[in-house]
A and B are shown apart, each in its own frame.
Chain A
Amino acid sequence: MNDQGDVSFALSDRAKEAITRKYYLTAGKVAETFGVDLRAIRISGSELARALAEAEFDYKAMMRRRQSEATGLSASKFAGMLAFRLARFKIVHIVSDHAETKHCFLLQEAIALVLVFNMALKMNAPVKQVLELAYQLARRHANQETLALCFDAFKLASRPTGA
């Protein structure tokens, strides 16, 4: 509860710490498998902080707009907000041409998606579709609403028949 007695939509510091820790660990893993030397990438902590703050702001704004304390907001919707912000802010920088591979332009988007699948959606998805979403985020048009719909679709597709 906040000072006005309303429900608070702020994320806890522990949750933000967990997301931040997971981001760095995920970045290391994805960079390695993408063939990008870890010494050649820089992660901007301030941009990561701004992305998290913006995702939290999105969540608060949507909860207020929907007046939905009664029904809440699905994990997919929050995952859409988080993935979009983590993909759009200037977080990952590759500082050496020698470290570049043909697909390293997808690095930040892949990190964002792996993180939200592991932390926010807590579900598996076919890697080819995850890669396609990463490309969509990096080079085409994507927003948090369409991402959330994609995540909802993955959720529905992963349910056992008849569920």
Chain B
Amino acid sequence: MCGSPLLNPTTKRLMTLDQILTEQGLLDRTVREVVAMTKAPAPVQANDGFKSGAELSDYLLQDGGEFIDVDALGKAAREAFGE
């Protein structure tokens, strides 16, 4: 049994939660619905991106040059931690 009796809003009778849920097959219906939902297709993530390994590889091979200032990174590290 699930705890203290509750007032069933439909019948106005005091019932335990599992009695309310079981009444009229509510529990069975909910279980069926949840199981059915697990079989739905996974949501597709909205990313504008690479759709294959070949596409990603081509992108990686495009030489865009150096973006991070490595000298400034070293200076920042020295300032943060000391020599």
Do A and B truly interact? yes
Chain A contacts to B: CB under 8 angstroms: 7-12, 14-15, 18-19, 26, 29-30, 32-35, 56, 59-60, 65-75, 77-78, 101-103, 106, 110, 113-114, 117-125, 127-128, 130-131
- Report B1 CB to chain A, min CB distance, Å: 41
- Report B14 CB to chain A, min CB distance, Å: 47
CA distance A67 to B41 in the complex (A): 9
Find out whether the CB atom of A114 lies under 8 angstroms from the CB atom of B47: no
Q: From the candidates B60, B70, B78, name the one contacting A103 in the complex (CB within 8 A).
A: B78
Name the CB-closest residue of A to B71: A33
Find out whether the CB atom of A73 lies under 8 angstroms from the CB atom of B68: no
Stretch from B15-23, B24-32, B50-58 contacting the other chain: B50-58
Chain B contacts to A: CB under 8 angstroms: 41-42, 44-62, 64-78, 80-83
**Set of chain B residues within 8 Å of A127, measured between Cβ atoms:** 68-69, 72-73, 75-76
Find out whether the CB atom of A103 lies under 8 angstroms from the CB atom of B80: yes
CA distance A122 to B56 in the complex (A): 13
8 inter-chain pairs at a CB distance below 8 angstroms, sorted by A residue, are A11-B57, A15-B58, A56-B53, A67-B41, A71-B44, A71-B46, A114-B68, A127-B68
- Report B83 CB to chain A, min CB distance, Å: 6
Find out whether the CB atom of B77 lies under 8 angstroms from the CB atom of A114: no
Find out whether the CB atom of A12 lies under 8 angstroms from the CB atom of B51: no
- Report A52 CB to chain B, min CB distance, Å: 11
CA distance A49 to B47 in the complex (A): 28
- Report B58 CB to chain A, min CB distance, Å: 8
CA distance A15 to B54 in the complex (A): 9
Name the CB-closest residue of B to A111: B70
A8-B53, A118-B64 given as contacts; is B44 within 8 A of A103 (CB)? no
